[in-house]
């Protein structure tokens, strides 16, 4: 089978959708399929070492719900898209975030090939869908099948664009994170390590974790906070660090994916205090694969992955004192930490990329063996 994977985001920049597409590409090719990735990129395919990346459009940073989306905003991509589709003759096109400008929406608009769409986003899409649904509803009908990565993502997209959506979650490289590893020597001195992994963005909730840690440090001086993630520290977090004079906070910056398991396996508890806009919990699953108990915000995307009291504890977002209590509860109870970690490891196995990719591939075969819907028969030269 010849497959096109389409992403709206800068393929040279790390992000959830980019990782998702990369792993589908890896497994599909491992199983003998031919795959091309269509995406905007700030670097060439050669520079990225991606021999099957077709760069279409140049990304620009666009603010979005406390984050930055690096997408192409050019609506002059149709000619190039048609050229690629005619030249490559794909059997199926899989568009990630099919309603995001400009590349996914352009591909959806011009393609005559059986097309699958995956919807990843949650809260950040509400306003865009609300104001554009009447225009976009014409094009979403072209999708032969629709995927949502979680129930919250499914509920959001189905509210604005009713229809059938199969939930196929994001995946993780389970063997990569689950393989036992020794603690990093610098963090193997008897102190209890709390780990945060995430971009330095407001919605990831780091200031709330820092406030909780400030209280926890008074109660448990033998604890330490490890902060891993790209970007500059946000102003509020920097203010908390300065005003509370926090000790044993290690700002470790970006860590390559090949080294990230070392940090999970050096942790005693993993904490993700995101305040919202998360459709899923990839970092939770990575920590679960590593056998770590978790404290996380009780937001829909996280609650769809973690069961409160089973693999970890869910606390209300921005409730710093409650987060402190939850962290203390896990740090003082070795047996509970180990039990929750083992329960998490068992659950995380179901999200291994081979299993996720197999479900996506099965959907492709169903699409290709089903009659094409009438809505998909739109002339290549048509315009919205």
CA distance 141 to 132: 15
Q: What is the mean pLDDT of the chain?
A: 92
CA distance 228 to 195: 8
Q: Domains in the chain, start-ordered, CATH in brackets? A: 2-171+352-376 (3.40.50.2000), 174-351 (3.40.50.2000)
- Torsion-angle region of 305 (φ positive above 0: left; ψ -120 to 50: alpha; else: beta): alpha
Sequence-ordered list of residues with C-beta below 8 angstroms from that of 246, at least 6 positions apart, any chain: 210, 213, 214, 217, 225, 240
The confidence score (pLDDT) of residue 128 equals 67
Average pLDDT of span 148-167:
93
CA distance 293 to 295: 7
Q: What are phi and psi of 197, to 5 degrees?
A: -130, 125
- 68-95 pLDDT, tens digit per residue, is 789 998 889 999 999 999 999 999 999 9
Rg (CA), the chain: 22
Indicate the Cα dihedral angle 300, 305, 308, 309, nearest 10°. Answer: -170
Q: SS3 of 196, please?
A: strand
- DSSP code at position 381: T
What pTM value is reported for the model?
0.87
Asked whether residue 276 carries a pLDDT value surpassing 50, the answer given is yes
């Amino acid at each position: 089978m010849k497959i096109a994977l389409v992403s709206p985001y800068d393929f040279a920049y790390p992000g959830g959708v980019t990782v998702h597409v990369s792993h589908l590409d890896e497994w599909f090719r491992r199983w003998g399929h031919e795959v091309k990735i269509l995406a905007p990129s700030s670097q060439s395919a050669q520079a990225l070492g991606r021999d099957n990346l077709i760069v279409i459009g140049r990304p620009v940073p666009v603010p979005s719900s406390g984050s930055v989306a690096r997408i192409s905003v050019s609506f002059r991509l149709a000619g190039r898209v048609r050229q690629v589709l005619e030249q490559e003759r794909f059997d199926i096109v899989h568009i990630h975030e099919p309603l995001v400008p400009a590349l996914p929406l352009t591909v959806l608009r011009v393609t005559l090939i059986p097309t699958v769409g995956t919807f990843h986003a949650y809260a950040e899409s509400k306003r865009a869908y609300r104001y554009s649904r009447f225009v976009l509803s014409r094009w979403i009908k072209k999708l032969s099948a629709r995927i949502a990565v979680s129930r919250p993502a499914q509920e959001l997209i189905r509210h604005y664009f009713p229809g059938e959506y199969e939930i196929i979650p994001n995946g993780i490289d389970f063997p990569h994170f689950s393989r036992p590893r020794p603690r990093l020597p610098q963090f193997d001195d008897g102190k209890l390590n709390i780990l945060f992994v995430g971009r330095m963005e407001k919605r990831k909730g780091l200031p709330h974790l820092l406030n909780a840690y400030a209280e926890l440090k008074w109660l448990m001086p033998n604890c330490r906070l490890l902060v891993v993630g790209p970007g500059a520290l946000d102003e509020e977090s920097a203010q908390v660090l300065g005003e509370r004079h926090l000790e044993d906070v290690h700002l470790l910056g970006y860590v390559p994916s090949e080294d990230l398991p070392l940090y999970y396996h050096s942790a005693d508890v993993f904490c993700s205090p995101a305040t919202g806009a998360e459709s899923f919990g990839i970092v939770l699953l990575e920590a679960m694969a590593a056998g770590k108990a978790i404290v996380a915000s009780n937001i829909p995307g996280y609650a769809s992955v973690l069961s409160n009291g089973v693999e970890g504890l869910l606390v209300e977002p921005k409730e710093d004192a409650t987060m402190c209590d939850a962290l203390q509860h896990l740090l003082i109870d070795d047996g509970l930490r180990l039990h929750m970690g083992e329960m998490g490891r068992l659950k995380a196995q179901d999200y291994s990329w081979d299993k996720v990719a197999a479900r996506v591939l099965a959907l492709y075969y169903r699409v290709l063996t089903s009659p094409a819907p009438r809505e998909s028969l739109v002339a290549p030269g048509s315009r919205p």
